[in-house]
């Protein structure tokens, strides 16, 4: 288990969960919510209580049997008293919710998320991801007065029917839901850190603006290898989310790898979101499967969701590798960045549109001697001024003399709408193949760029690029980044970087 006190430095510790043999002993489970030393685990399709495993007891009766390969129920574990590091756990032997509601023809029943804490006359409330056959994804609400027992189904959390996402439906099942209150960021004075355990209790409030986020399943955007995540901004009335009156659905991330995010409130009252950055490559003998995104702070600004990297990440910046106060990037000649060391780096710059239709950073790849659409030779992280998009494009042909490419050619493109004016500040974080881009207008994009080993620091394969005209770039700073691991021995699997011409 990895432990972190400051969103920045990680150490590893061995965690334990004590349990006794029972029909609900699972070979694996998914942990979805931790609150006040209690963990909610959902028996999900990850080799948990398989239908064909006779050791897991009899099948549920017909009214609550969803007919899935995995029999889903909700479990709970309690942290050992006094264990502030949340290392030693005791699993409750019986499920807190053993089966879904009867006769609802649900497509799933997993991923609990607490939206209200019980105290006084106020009950505990929990969301569960689900869907209804023929109707699409939904969220179920359960409530109780006693946290470890007595959970009762209260109905759907959704009031009304959502708009479609473009021409697409919203998936048959909504996984990994979360609901958080949004507020304007405080720029003048950051909130002081609250004493341990003193953060205010969760409570549903009418008039409060909420962000509701889900991960639709199965995959419904056919041009992407991974599932997109959607969110709505709206209000709760009579303890129901008014989805017809909400703003949405919108893409949470404009890239193609972020999935199953979760969000919590830290001691400063900030909404901190973390997600899973999936792999896109196939094959290879890897002992890891994806990684966790950078922590994002979610706020409401200029009438929309605003995402930015937690400022603590700046403390990982090491020496300044390269800088420029004023660059003019033409449409016919890219400008090289030099002296960037290692596979992890951070770049920040302000780009002004000028005459360009698109501009940004080009990342060259050395993986394939003969690139094609399936194996591109580069990735361009672009502010698309013409179409108001933040996107990444993967060209398969480069003019290696000028390090330019034809932006109009047929190539893979991933991205989405951005609120662009005549200039925007861009932050790019690269950690081996994981790439995350953030705009000062609040949009974010995560993707994978498999570049292979950098040949030299003099040509580290990073270029400022412009298309359709010249771009003006100011206040450029590029830093190498240090490790999040407090000890070298804590670091898990070593990232795999193929040699030149040895692509997957």
Task: Return the pLDDT at 142.
Answer: 97
Task: Please give the order of strands across the beta sheet that includes 124-132.
Answer: 106-116, 124-132, 136-144, 152-156
Of the pLDDT bands very low, low, confident and very high (cuts 50, 70, 90), residue 196 is: very low
Q: Rounded mean pLDDT of 71-93? A: 82
CB 76 within 8 A of CB 148: yes
Answer with the residue of higher pLDDT: 384 or 48.
Answer: 384
Task: Return the pLDDT at 363.
Answer: 94
- pLDDT (tens digit, 9 = 90+) per residue, 379-415? 999 999 999 999 999 988 888 888 888 876 778 899 9
Task: Return the pLDDT at 395.
Answer: 87
Q: Are strands 16-18 and 88-91 parallel, antiparallel or unpaired?
A: parallel
Highest mean predicted confidence (pLDDT) among 168-182, 354-368, 424-438: 424-438
- pLDDT (tens digit, 9 = 90+) per residue, 11-39? 555 555 555 545 555 544 555 666 655 55
In 157-288, alpha helices (H): none
The one-character DSSP state at 303 is T
Q: Rounded mean pLDDT of 197-219? A: 80
Answer with the residue of higher pLDDT: 168 or 500.
Answer: 168
* Least confidently predicted of 40-49, 302-311, 416-425: 40-49
Task: Return the pLDDT at 243.
Answer: 96
Residue 461 has pLDDT above 80, yes or no: yes
Q: Rounded mean pLDDT of 496-501? A: 47
State the Cα–Cα distance between residues 462 and 342, nearest whole angstrom. 13
In terms of residues, how long is the chain?
A: 504
CB 158 within 8 A of CB 139: yes
CB 368 within 8 A of CB 358: no
The pair of structure tokens assigned to 399 is: 């003019």
Task: Return the pLDDT at 377.
Answer: 85
Task: Return the pLDDT at 93.
Answer: 81
CA distances from 183 to 171, 303, 442 (A): 29, 11, 14
The pair of structure tokens assigned to 287 is: 């002992």
Portion of the chain with pLDDT greater than 70, in percent:
77
CB 364 within 8 A of CB 463: yes
Residue 45 has pLDDT above 50, yes or no: no
Q: Residue with structure tokens 């479609």?
A: 164
Of the pLDDT bands very low, low, confident and very high (cuts 50, 70, 90), residue 222 is: low
Q: Rounded mean pLDDT of 321-332? A: 93
Task: Return the pLDDT at 503.
Answer: 38
Of the pLDDT bands very low, low, confident and very high (cuts 50, 70, 90), residue 170 is: confident
DSSP of 72-122: --EEEEEEPTT-TT--EEEE-SS-SB-SPPTT--EEEEEEEEEEE--BTTB
Answer with the residue of higher pLDDT: 241 or 164.
Answer: 241
Of the pLDDT bands very low, low, confident and very high (cuts 50, 70, 90), residue 5 is: low
Q: Residue with structure tokens 């969220």?
A: 139
- Give the residue from 363, 349, 249, 267 showing the smallest Cα distance to 310: 267
Q: Rounded mean pLDDT of 203-215? A: 94
Buried b (16+ CB within 10 A) or exposed e, 261-289: bbbbebeebbbbbbbbbbbbeeeeeeeee
Output the pTM of the full model.
0.88
Residue 168 has pLDDT above 50, yes or no: yes
- Which residues are registered as beta bridge partners of 366? none
Answer with the residue of higher pLDDT: 491 or 203.
Answer: 203
Helices vs strands, H then E, count in the chain? 0, 35
The pair of structure tokens assigned to 271 is: 């909404």
Portion of the chain with pLDDT greater than 90, in percent:
48
């Amino acid at each position: 288990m990895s432990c972190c006190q400051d969103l920045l430095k990680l150490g590893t510790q061995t965690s334990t969960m004590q349990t006794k043999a029972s029909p609900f002993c699972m070979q694996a489970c998914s942990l979805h919510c931790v609150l006040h030393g209690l963990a909610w685990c959902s028996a999900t399709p990850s080799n948990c209580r398989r239908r064909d495993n006779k050791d897991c007891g009899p099948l549920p009766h017909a009214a609550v049997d969803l007919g899935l390969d995995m029999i889903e129920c909700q479990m709970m574990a309690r942290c050992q008293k006094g264990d502030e590091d949340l290392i030693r756990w005791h699993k409750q032997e019986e499920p807190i919710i053993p089966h879904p509601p009867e006769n609802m023809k649900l497509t799933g029943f997993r991923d609990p998320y607490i939206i209200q804490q019980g105290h006084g006359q106020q009950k505990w409330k929990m969301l569960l991801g689900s869907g209804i056959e023929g109707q699409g994804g939904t969220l179920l609400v359960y409530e109780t007065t006693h946290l470890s027992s007595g959970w009762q189904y209260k109905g759907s959390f959704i009031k009304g029917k959502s708009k479609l996402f473009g021409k697409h439906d919203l998936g048959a099942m909504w996984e990994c839901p979360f609901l958080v209150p949004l507020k304007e960021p405080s720029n003048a004075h950051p909130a002081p850190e609250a004493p341990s355990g003193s953060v205010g209790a969760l409570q549903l409030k009418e008039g409060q603006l909420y962000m509701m986020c889900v991960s639709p399943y199965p995959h419904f955007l056919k041009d992407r290898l991974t599932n997109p995540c959607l969110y709505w901004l709206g209000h709760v009335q009579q303890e129901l989310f008014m989805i017809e009156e909400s703003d949405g659905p919108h893409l949470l991330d404009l890239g193609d790898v972020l999935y199953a995010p979760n969000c919590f409130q830290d001691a400063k009252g900030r909404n901190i979101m973390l997600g899973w950055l999936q792999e896109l490559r196939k094959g290879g003998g890897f002992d890891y499967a994806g990684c966790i995104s950078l922590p994002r702070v979610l706020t409401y600004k200029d009438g929309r969701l605003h995402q930015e990297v937690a400022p603590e990440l700046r403390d990982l910046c090491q020496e300044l590798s390269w800088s420029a106060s004023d660059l003019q990037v033409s449409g016919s000649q890219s400008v090289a960045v030099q002296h960037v060391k290692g596979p992890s780096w951070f770049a920040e710059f302000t780009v002004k549109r000028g005459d360009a239709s698109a501009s940004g950073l080009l990342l060259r790849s050395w993986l394939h001697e003969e690139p094609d659409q399936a194996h591109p030779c580069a990735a361009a992280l672009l502010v698309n001024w013409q179409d108001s998009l933040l996107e990444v494009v993967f060209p398969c042909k480069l003019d290696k003399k000028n390090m330019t490419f034809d932006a109009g050619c047929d190539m893979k493109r991933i991205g989405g709408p951005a609120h662009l004016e005549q200039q925007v500040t861009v932050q790019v974080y690269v950690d081996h193949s994981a790439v995350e881009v953030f705009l000062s207008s609040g949009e974010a994009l995560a993707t994978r760029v498999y570049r292979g080993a950098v040949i030299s620091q003099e040509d580290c394969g990073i270029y400022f690029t412009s298309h359709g005209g010249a771009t003006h770039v100011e206040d450029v700073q590029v830093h190498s980044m240090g490790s999040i691991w407090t000890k070298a021995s804590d670091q898990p699997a070593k990232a795999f970087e193929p040699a030149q011409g040895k692509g997957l």
